[in-house]
Chain A
Amino acid sequence: MIKNISNLGDAALYCNFGEEVNKETNSNVIKYFKNLKEKQIEGIINLTPSYNKLIISFDLRKTNFKLIKSLVENLDINQTYQEDSKKIKIPVCCDESFSLDIERLEEKLSLKRDKIYENFFDKEYFCYMTGFIAGMPFCGDLDKTMRADRLETPRVKVPKGSVGLTEQFANIYTFESPGGWNIIGNTPIKIFDNSKDINPNLVSPGDTIIFNQISFEDYKNYNE
C-alpha cells in the first residue's frame, strides 16, 4: 500500500501512498496511522497522517531510520485495529456577519448563494487529516460545482469557528488564525477543547462529518 518510503531529515520517515488524493488512498494512510498508534512502538514520538502521506517522527537517541523503515515494511496491516470512526453533525450559521466570502464564492462558482448552501449542506464529508493548527479538520470532497481557489491574499485573522472552502476541501478554524480559505459560515460548537486531556479534538481522521445550516437565532441560543 505504501508506494515509497524515504527519510525526511535524520529523525523521520516519509511514507508516500500515491499521488492521487481520494478516500481509498487516505484510508490506507489512516490504517497505518491507527495501527502504529495502537502499537505504541518504542522510539516513535509522532505520527502525522495527511491526504496521501504519513510522516513518522522518531527519537534518534533510541532508534534510527533503518530500524523504523524495516518495522513499517513488515507491519501486519491486516490486523484489525479498533474501529472508532464517528459520524459528527456540525451546525453552521451563514448569517452575513459570518459568511465572509459568500459574494466571492457566488462570483467564482457562478452560483446563487441558495444553490451554494444547497450543494454544501446535509452531505457526508470524510475527514482526511487534522492539523496545521490544533484540531483543524480537512474534509472532503466537495461537490464538483463548489471548488474555488484560495483567496489571493490570505486574511491575517480568520475568526474562530469559521468554516472555509478551498478546492475539494472544507475545514473549520478551531481558533483565530491567519488563513486563506473562502469562509462560508461559522459554527457555535467547540471543535477543539484544550481543557480536555483525552480527545481534545472533536473530529479525527477517518470520521464522517455533516454540516447542517442553522439560523442566527439558533446560533445565538446554541448550548453544547
Chain B
Amino acid sequence: MNSFEIIRAGINTTFQDYGRNNLYHIGIPFSGAMDKRNYILANSLLNNKIDNPVIEFAYQGPLIKYKGDKISFVITGDVIFKLIKNERAIEGNCYENYTIEDGDQIDIISTNKSVYGYLAISGVFDLKFQWGSCSINTKANIGSNNGKKLQNSQKIDILNINSNQTKKKLNYINTKIERIRVIKGTNFDYFSDEGKKIFFDKDFTVSKLSDRMGMRLEGPTIKNIGDTNIRSEGLIKGTIQIPADGNPIIMLSDHGTIGGYPKFGVVISADYDKLVQLSPGSKIKFQEIKLSDAETLFKLYEMETQNLISQLK
C-alpha cells in the first residue's frame, strides 16, 4: 500500500476539491479549494482528472514522508518547500512536477506573501466523500477525515498511482492584484455617501481574524445611515457585509449560509482567487464595476486559466 505519513500537519491543512453544490438551503456552503486556479493547475500538471482531491495548506504546510512505489507530486501557489531524498534536501519549485520514492519527504515550509498552496499527487487519496465532495469544512465537521484538519502522525492511503509521469513545468507567477473589484450590493444605499467614498478610496488591511469562512478588514469604518440589521437572508461567497461597527467582512468559501448584516457589495468572480490569497496585514483597495464588466472579466480570467492548461498538453 502506498501512503503519506504526516510528520507535521501544518497550520490548517485539509483535503479539498471543487466543493459541494445544492446544499445552501440546508446550511451547507460550497467549501472546496479556496484558490480554484491553483487547484486546477496542480491537477493539470500531473495529467490528473481536473477534480482530483488535493491537499490544501495555509501559511505553514505539512512535512510528509512517502511510503510506496514511485509517484509524482506538484505544488502550486507561491510556496517555499523542500524535497528530501536520502537525507539530501533539494529546494523545490512550484508548477514543476517531481518524482518521489519510498522514504522521501516533502517539507512545505511556508506560503510566501500569500495564504493557500496546493499539493497534488499522481494518485488518488483514499478519502470518504460527503455529498459528492471530499472537501473538509472544519467548522461544521463535514467532509473527508471526519471533517477535521490533518493531524500529526496521521497516515493517508493512496490508490491508483501513476508512476510514469513526464516532467512538466509551467512558467506562471501569481501576480498581486492592484484593486479588488466589487459590484454594488443589495443594501448599498444603507451607507452614507461619505462611507461609500471611503470604501472605494481608502486602503484596508486584512485582519488576523480571517480564515476559510471569512476575511475581516481593518481600517476606516463605513457609516450605516439605514438599518444596521436586515432580515436574515442568504449569502454567497464574496459578499461584503458591514455590521454596525462599520468594519467590512467578506464571506469566503466556508461561510455561514444565512446572515443578517447589510450587504455593501460582492467581490466579482474573476477576483476571488486573488482575494483569498491576501494574507493578514496585506493592504487591500476596492474598485466599483458594473455587472457586464464583471462578466467579461470572468470570461477573460477563465480563458487565461484554459491557456495555462493547454500549455501543459
Contacts and interface: CB of A to CB of B under 8 A. Distances in A.
Interface of A: 6-12, 14, 21, 33, 37, 45-55, 57, 60-61, 64-65, 129-136, 138, 174-175, 192, 194, 197, 200-201, 204-205
Contact of A11 (B140, B147, B269, B302): B269
27 contacts: A7-B291, A9-B238, A9-B268, A9-B294, A10-B266, A10-B298, A14-B186, A37-B22, A46-B23, A48-B25, A48-B257, A55-B24, A55-B234, A57-B236, A60-B295, A64-B295, A129-B232, A130-B26, A131-B256, A131-B257, A134-B142, A135-B26, A192-B26, A192-B27, A197-B130, A200-B26, A201-B27
B185 interface: yes
A175 B26 contact: no
Interface in B259-292: 259, 263, 266-269, 291
Contact of B291 (A57, A65, A136): A65
A135 B232 contact: no
Contact of A51 (B22, B231, B266, B267): B231
Given A48-B24, A50-B232, A132 B256 contact: yes
B136 to A, nearest CB: 12
Given A48-B258, A194-B142, A9 B22 contact: no
Q: How large is the interface on B (under 10, 10 to 19, 20 to 34, 35 or more residues)?
A: 35 or more
Contacts of A129: 25, 232, 258
Contacts of B267: 9
B25 A49 contact: yes
B183 interface: yes
Given A133-B27, A194-B141, A10 B234 contact: no
B26 A47 contact: no
Interface string B21-64: 11111111010000000000000000000000000000000000
A92 B23 CA distance: 27
A50 B186 CA distance: 15
Contacts of A55: 24, 233-236
B24 A57 contact: yes
Contacts of A46: 21-25, 30, 236
Contact of A131 (B26, B268, B269): B26
A89 to B, nearest CB: 20
